[in-house]
Amino acid sequence: MLALLVLPLALAVSAPGLASPTSGSAVVPDRSSTGEQNGVGLMRIVVADKSGIDRLNELGVDLAEYVKPVDNGIEVHAILSPEESQALRDKGFDVQDAISDQSDYADNMAERSASIRAATAATASTDTLTVLRSEWFSSLNNQLFLNIEVKSSAGTDSTTVLTASWDSGPGTEIGSGGTATMSRFTDAGQYMYHRFSNPVAINAAPAKATITSNKGGSVTVDVAKWLGSPRKVAGDHPYVSDFVDHYMDPTEVTARFTGLAAEFPKLTELIDLPYKTNGYRRKAQAQFGTAAASIVYVTSTAYGSEGGNDVSMSLVNPGTANAPLTVSMSGKAVTVSLATNGSGAITSTAAQVVAAVNGNADAAKLLTASTYRGNAGTGVVAAAPVTNLTDNLKAPASVSREPFQMKALRIGKHRDGSKVGVFLYCQEHAREWVTPLVCVESAERLLRNYAHDPNTRKIVDDLDIFILPVVNPDGAHYSMYDYNMQRKNMTNYCSASLADPAARNAWGVDINRNFSVGSVFDGFTGASATNCTGETFAGPSELSEPEARNEVWLVDKFPNIKLSMNTHSYGGYFMWPPGAYKAAGREVLPRVDQGTEAYFWTSSDYILSRVQEYRGTAIWPGRTGPVTDVLYSAAGNSADEHWYNRGIIGWDFEVGADVYNPTTKRFTAVGFQPSFAEGHEEAMEFANGNIAILEVARAYATDKIQPQTTLKIVKQEPGATAFTFSISEPANVYYTLDGSRPTYNSPKLALAGMREGVQNIAVNSDTTVNWFSIDIAGNVESNYKPDGAGRNYNKQAVAVQ
């Protein structure tokens, strides 16, 4: 019923997206009137041009990170309720069909539950046994021996006992050949596996053995002949991958990382980031009444988990004439006895009830009452039975309601700051469920392949890798259990006029708009500083949020970090700074220089080829490049923070490239939460991308090769000659035309234009060109010292006819 009262979205207001939160003009997307997932869908919109996207942004429309040129304009995607879709259509926007809707969410959650149930059934009370070897052999006068090695997933627990039983040949019973307890083998304090201390002497060659664990695990395996016959391959290690089998919430992801740190202490350390989040928690609320003027809603002082959920309130008709409005307390129950007139009819208005409740010192300790969305509250309220306040949070109790301790996993053989650092981070936006899987998969691959894969060993030995799998844990829990399209964190900065229960899915700060470079507070576009319910709300100030501060703390604490990757979803993009512009005149943050841009393109080719290797997905050239060129302005994003404040190369992935359907011959957008089967593929291919980034970083760290350049005449006309430079690898060229020695202050070869090649330089008279080049790793051509006095730079005369 509430939905009828509330105008949909900011669309109803003409001021672009800046409706004051205190205006009470119902600008909040009302997506929770049913208390459920509210019928929102991910909708396709076609706009004529980029100004249409800017206009949607200004209206506060919740856009996906997806832009696609189509025949008649540009296709973008937005999260909209049916009412919001209609409001946009009324404004002339071409809102088309849904890419995904709530049935997809239901399917995903059912699939996830089934997967977790299966895993729990297998591991809750039982351990997993992995057979490393099982073989028999003869030796010493034809005496037969048995050798078995088995790794238990509970093996780090010293009370884990494994027992092996074997048969006495094909078709015989397990146990008929014998039974023996295995020894727990540890090396340098680390559990390796269980084995027999010595091969066990046996009387007959077994065909099968069963190993059981006192922790419940059991496995039956063939016993092969050792030496003289083909054996099961146990020593030949292929590259291992595929470590995620369901969508994971932040509690699970953090537990996984904690486990990895414990399992690989020599290669890792777990870093507790200093700023705890506000936590997956909310104040408890209840709302009384249905018409805006007579609605009263109350909010607990304590979080729901800290007593707020125990508070209740009732509005009682005293059943007598001329009764006064009173508030009384019994424990945590607040009873409002409503005023009546001479004929016994209720006369208390919403405003009067609010004043009475807030004016009662005892009640005010437990809760605060408000009228609805700034309404004057002149409507008479209706009696209502005892109503429990609730925080409405639906995650299981295993999800803590305390402030969340974010943890980054540092991986590297030498974690002393001497190696080039790379920062991989995921899930700034809560609803992008695939992204934490990319970080988990990347960490698992590095650690589990280190022992046997030379390439992994090089990466881990030569780099200092920091992986933060979930930047927005509170929002991510909320997205998984309460409102799947949640993008922001959970912290509510709205005043009472936008803090009623129906607004709760619109609260929070967009972490990737809360950083300090090119922010909305600096005048850049693509975020809101005032609309607390807008999906790109930048927070009350730059770096107001602990989630954003933790990122900044990490890159400040470890200045060896030179590259970063910020993984988002969806659309299939590879992007770099600049990521924001001022709308007026499209004043973009400074573009990277020619050498850096060339390096980014060369790196893209390598990284995206590795993404493609997994299942053939090609990230399109049109979705590769600076954020402002291929997506839209995102004021205050983290990649710009890293690049412009610290010189850290700040890359962004959008996983989830459009999938080509060979039958319809069309590309289909995948959305934020595809079926896990698709999400899994995205995690695998972009984990490939992360590994490739590490390879690129290692090449950067170990690059000792100097760039080489030649001067090239491109055009000669009477009175003017144009030239440029050929460069052996991505590098910047500094040159002079006046015969002076080139330095870092000399002119730098630029690009001819956005996404173009290098510029041509024209001279009108005979000129001596002096120049040198320097690559991104700092290698200078011919080992020239631009700051020194040497003259070993390049020089060439350019003649003019």
Residues in the chain: 801
Q: How far is the CB of 87 from Zn ion (least distance, A)?
A: 24
Phi and psi of 376, rounded to 5°? -65, -20
CB nearer to Zn ion: give 393 or 468.
468
Distance CA 452, CA 666 (A): 42
Q: Which is nearer to Zn ion, 652 or 681 (CB)?
A: 652
Query: In terms of CB distance, is 448 or 642 closer to Zn ion?
Result: 642
Cα separation, 191 vs 184, in Å, equals 8
Element (H, E) at 608: helix 594-615
**CB of 526 vs Zn ion, minimal distance in Å:** 12
Q: Judged by CB, which is closer to Zn ion: 429, or 448?
A: 429
Q: Are the C-beta atoms of residues 719 and 800 closer than 8 Å to each other?
A: yes
CA count, 13 A, side-chain hemisphere, 314: 12
Nearest approach, Cβ of residue 355 and Zn ion (Å):
43
Residue (377 or 475) nearer to Zn ion, CB: 475
Q: Residue 195 or residue 568: which is nearer to Zn ion going by CB?
A: 568
CB 277 within 8 A of CB 489: yes
Q: Quick one: which of 424, 400, 439, 409 has its CA closest to 277?
A: 400
Q: Is 490 helix (H, G, I), strand (E, B) or coil?
A: coil
- Checking phi first, is residue 373 left (phi over 0); if not, alpha (psi -120 to 50) or beta? left
SS3 per residue for 120-185:
HHHHCCCCCEEEEEEEEEEECCCEEEEEEEEEECCCCCCCCCEEEEECCCCCCCCCCCEEEECEEE
Q: Compare residues 337 and 479 and give the one whose CB is closer to Zn ion.
A: 479
Q: What span, in angstroms and rounded, lies between the C-alpha atoms of 564 and 422?
A: 6
Instruction: Estimate the crossing angle of helix 102-123 against helix 676-702, to 10 degrees.
Output: 80
Peptide bond into 570 cis (omega under 30): yes
Helix or strand (DSSP H, E) at 67: strand 63-70
Tell which residue, 752, 552, 575, has the closest CA to residue 654.
575
Residues 6+ apart with CB under 8 A from 148: 131, 133, 134, 135, 164, 182, 195, 196, 209, 211, 223
Closest CB to Zn ion among residues 282, 568: 568
Instruction: Show the 3-state SS of 316-346.
Output: ECCCCCCCCCEEEEECCEEEEECCECCCCCE
Q: Shortest Cβ distance from residue 528 to Zn ion (Å)?
A: 16
CB nearer to Zn ion: pick between 62 and 441:
62
CB of 567 to Zn ion, least distance (A): 9
Considering beta carbons, is residue 254 or 472 the nearer one to Zn ion? 472
Residue ranges that bind Zn ion, judged by CB under 5 A? 429, 568
Could you tell me the smallest distance in angstroms from the CB atom of residue 292 to Zn ion?
34
The total of other beta-carbon atoms located within 10 Å of residue 675's CB is 14
